[in-house]
């Protein structure tokens, strides 16, 4: 009876339009506008599984087949968000599901809100076994912004706490929509955004434009805010703090910095990949305020991507991460089409996650 009641009220307060858009649009709907320094890491498991010939796979399939999928993903694809991947052998038994049941997922990281996950399950997925496990482990059940939320204080003595991510401690279930939202420190800010009670990044025109320009990727990273470019901007003066240097050398560095081509901050950085003619095709984009600003920035961004150096490998970007195939302005965005080295799309994301993307920096 408890499970039936949970399923029946799981989406009662959601607006009719909720969860009706594309996967990345739905990700934007879950990120509150108030989120500072927001970054979304997105994996489309349906695309990846279909491409690799594992479209039939679910958590009910054999462990060997599920491990085969994850091995292929690690070799040929990339899952930038991968909930509880290290627990694949036991996660379905412990929690009633694993990555094989997902259509897509997103890991949401911000500076002022707790990290969270949004997971979209396959259409035929039955949430009953999931809910039964929450009930059996004495999770508290409440309703918040239309979702049934299962919460439990951290109990390091409980064996189940070592079988998945700690974000399981606060899990919102939208059973009718096939969704989970999880965050160890509370899901309410994200549920409020999904319900439309507070503004979300789905209302940000720059974020929406970035989703359009990524064109339904297999995986993607979206970083929001004009401060994102500073992650990739080296500062030779600050790097010299604590070292012995002459005043003449400082002046030389200042003149060099002043002579650099102006690179202005952008609103959104996006990186993603899809397939074209059997090979991964990467997209790197920068959303600007106006088309004119994007046109101004295009030559420098393109040149840095084509000819820049990786500080990690001390080799050209073209040998470390990707080769540039095309640079153009689309609407108010600089869009680079790139081919990842050795057809390994994970190289695209390493450049961003390792902060080794000089082409994504800005002037200071």
Question: Given pLDDT bands bounded at 50, 70 and 90, which one contains residue 17?
Answer: very low
Q: Is 51 helix (H, G, I), strand (E, B) or coil?
A: helix
Q: Is residue 109 predicted with pLDDT exceeding 70?
A: yes
- pLDDT of 248 reads 67
- pLDDT of 188 reads 97
Average pLDDT over residues 349-358: 94
The two tokens of residue 328 are: 């153009």
Whether the CB-CB separation of 285 and 333 falls below 8 Å is answered with: yes
Over the stretch 274-314, which tens digit does the pLDDT of each residue have? 999 999 999 999 999 999 999 999 999 999 999 999 988 88
Question: Given pLDDT bands bounded at 50, 70 and 90, which one contains residue 33?
Answer: very high
Least confident of 100-104, 230-234, 260-264: 260-264
DSSP string covering 181-235, please?
A: EE-TT-SHHHHHHHTTSS-BGGG-HHHHHHHHHHTS-SEEEEEESTTGGGGG---
Question: Given pLDDT bands bounded at 50, 70 and 90, which one contains residue 218?
Answer: very high
- Which of 241 and 161 is assigned the larger pLDDT? 161
The number of angstroms, rounded, from the C-alpha of 133 to the middle of its chain's C-alpha atoms is: 28
Give the whole-angstrom CA distance, residue 283 versus residue 247.
Answer: 43
Q: Is residue 133 predicted with pLDDT exceeding 80?
A: yes
* Domain spans in the chain, listed from the N-terminal domain onward: 32-199, 207-360
| 0.85 exceeded by pTM | yes
The two tokens of residue 185 are: 């420190």
Average pLDDT over residues 186-213: 97
The two tokens of residue 168 are: 């399981």
Q: Is residue 6 predicted with pLDDT exceeding 70?
A: no
**∠ CA 281-66-165, rounded to 5°:** 90
Of the chain, the percentage scoring pLDDT greater than 70 comes to: 86
- pLDDT of 252 reads 52
């Amino acid at each position: 009876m408890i499970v039936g009641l949970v399923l029946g009220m799981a989406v009662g307060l959601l607006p009719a339009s909720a969860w009706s858009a594309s996967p990345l649009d739905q990700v934007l709907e879950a990120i509150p506008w108030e989120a500072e320094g927001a970054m979304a890491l997105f994996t489309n498991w349906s695309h990846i599984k279909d491409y690799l010939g594992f479209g039939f796979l679910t958590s009910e399939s054999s462990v060997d087949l599920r491990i085969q999928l994850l091995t292929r993903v690690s070799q040929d694809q990339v899952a930038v968000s991968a909930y509880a991947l290290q627990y694949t052998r036991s996660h379905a038994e412990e929690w009633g599901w694993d990555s094989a049941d997902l259509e897509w997922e997103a890991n949401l990281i911000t500076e002022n809100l707790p990290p969270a996950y949004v997971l979209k399950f396959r259409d035929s997925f039955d949430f009953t076994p999931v809910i039964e496990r929450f009930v059996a482990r004495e999770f508290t059940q409440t309703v918040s912004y239309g979702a049934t939320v299962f919460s439990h204080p951290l109990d390091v003595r409980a064996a189940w706490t070592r079988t998945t991510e700690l974000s399981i401690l606060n899990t919102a279930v939208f059973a009718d929509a096939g969704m989970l939202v999880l965050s160890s420190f509370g899901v309410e800010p994200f549920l409020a955004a999904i319900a439309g009670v507070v503004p979300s990044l789905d209302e940000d025109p720059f974020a929406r434009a970035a989703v359009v320009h990524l064109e339904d990727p297999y995986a993607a990273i979206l970083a929001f805010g004009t401060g994102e470019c500073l992650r990739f901007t080296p500062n030779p003066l600050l790097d010299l703090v604590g070292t012995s240097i002459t005043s003449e050398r400082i002046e030389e560095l200042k003149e060099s910095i002043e002579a650099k081509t102006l690179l202005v901050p952008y609103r959104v950085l996006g990186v993603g990949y899809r397939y074209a003619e059997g090979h991964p095709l990467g997209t790197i984009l920068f959303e600007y305020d106006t088309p004119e600003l994007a046109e101004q920035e295009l030559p420098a961004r393109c040149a840095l991507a084509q000819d820049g150096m990786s500080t990690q490998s001390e080799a050209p970007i073209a040998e470390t991460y990707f080769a540039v195939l095309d640079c153009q302005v689309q609407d108010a965005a600089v869009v680079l089409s790139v081919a990842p080295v050795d057809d390994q799309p994970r190289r695209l994301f390493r450049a961003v996650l390792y902060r080794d993307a000089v082409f994504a920096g800005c002037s200071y």
